[in-house]
């Protein structure tokens, strides 16, 4: 049983589908924006310019030392862990 070609290719001559084209274009634009944002965030993270958490700052630990929440030995350990030479910790008065 043969199917007439007019049924198989009914939409072939219908013209250009503008709605479908607009949806595809919108999807491509959204994907491009997502890729762009992802690449910028990766570049920023690799450059080291990102905002640093206060836990990664020696100033944060110096304040903890001044408040008496950590001792001088712990402060020195943190400095070594962060890869920095510990300054002479402030003395408690």
Model pTM above 0.75: no
Residue 11: the pLDDT is 56
Boundaries of domain holding 81: 54-93
Residue 44: the pLDDT is 80
Cα distance between residue 23 and residue 17, in whole Å: 10
63 lies in some domain? yes
Tokens read off for 15: 């013209």
Residue 32: the pLDDT is 98
What's the structural domain count of the chain? 1
62 lies in some domain? yes
Residue 61: the pLDDT is 85
Q: What is the CA radius of gyration of the chain?
A: 31
Cα distance between residue 86 and residue 2, in whole Å: 87
65 lies in some domain? yes
72 lies in some domain? yes
Could you tell me the mean pLDDT of each successive run of 10 residues in the chain, 93 residues long?
60 76 97 96 74 68 90 88 66 53
93 lies in some domain? yes
Residue 40: the pLDDT is 92
85 lies in some domain? yes
3-state secondary structure 45-91: HHHCCCCCCHHHCHHHHHHHHHHCCCCHHHHHHHHHHCCCCCCCCCC
41 lies in some domain? no
31 lies in some domain? no
How many residues belong to the chain?
93
Residue 30 main-chain phi, psi, to 5 deg: -60, -40
């Amino acid at each position: 049983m043969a199917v007439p070609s007019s049924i198989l290719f009914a939409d072939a001559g219908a013209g250009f589908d503008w709605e479908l084209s607009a949806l595809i274009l919108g999807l491509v634009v959204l994907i491009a924006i997502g890729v762009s944002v992802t690449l910028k965030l990766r570049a920023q993270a690799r450059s080291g310019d990102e905002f640093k958490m206060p836990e990664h700052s020696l100033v944060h630990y110096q304040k903890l030392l001044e408040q008496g929440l950590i001792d001088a030995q712990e402060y020195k350990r943190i400095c070594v862990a962060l890869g920095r030479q510990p300054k002479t910790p402030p003395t408690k008065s």
